[in-house]
Amino acid sequence: MQHPGRHPRINIVQGEYHVSADAALSITTLLGSCVAACIHDPAAQVGGMNHFLLPGDEANAPLLARHGVHLMELLINGLLKKGAQRHRLEAKLFGGARTMQGLGDIGAANARFAQEFLRREGIAITGGSLGGETGRRLQFWPASGRVMQKLVRAVEEKPLADPVLPTAGELELF
């Protein structure tokens, strides 16, 4: 339910995308190692955002909905259906942070994939913020192409002490 005087806002999460030409609407998301592409056609005043978890390949078809290759294609096709022209599309890329040490750098792989995909498709990258070690909260106005980014400090997780497993017959409930 929208409050009077408030603009509509749609939040997307991993594996989702949204396209709109509504000048009042904004699309929001929260990113860590994931990447979001905000793509806009300034002449048609239509844009959209996606949010993907993995670059993607055909070997992992069950996870396809969370893969960049799938979501990039859905986003571009959604824009074209709303009147955008491929040669006018402009992209801004966000995310790809290294949020967890010791687990590889999936954020860098996501960022590399998004940049290479757009280059192959002939879509200009006009801005954004990739990499680092900080999460990002995005708000994108698809009709104008405006994006607002707020950096989100990561909360350092401290390892828990090794749990003491009960021996046979011991059980503690609380």
Query: What ranges do the domains of the chain cover?
Result: 9-151
In which residue are the tokens 């002490």 written?
Answer: 161
Query: Which pLDDT belongs to residue 84?
Result: 98
In whole angstroms, give the CA distance from residue 94 to residue 134.
11
Structure tokens at 57: 């390949």
Asked if 128 and 109 touch (Cβ cutoff 8 Å), the reply is no
HSE value, Cβ hemisphere, 13 Å, CA-based, for 115: 15
Question: For the packed helices 106-121 and 68-81, what is the interaxial angle rounded to 10 degrees?
Answer: 40
One digit per residue, the tens of pLDDT, for the chain of length 174 reads: 455 567 899 999 999 999 999 999 999 999 999 999 999 999 999 999 999 987 665 444 444 445 778 899 999 999 999 999 999 999 999 999 997 776 678 899 999 999 999 999 999 999 999 999 999 999 999 999 999 999 997 544 444 444 444 444 444 444
What values do phi and psi take at 104, rounded to 5? 80, 175
The Cβ of residue 14 has, within 10 Å, a number of other Cβ atoms equal to 16
- Within its chain, how far is the Cα of 10 from the centroid? 13
Show the DSSP H helices in the chain as ranges.
Answer: 68-81, 106-121
Query: Residue 135 is which amino acid?
Result: G
Quote the pLDDT of residue 7: 83
CATH dotted code for 9-151: 3.30.1330.200
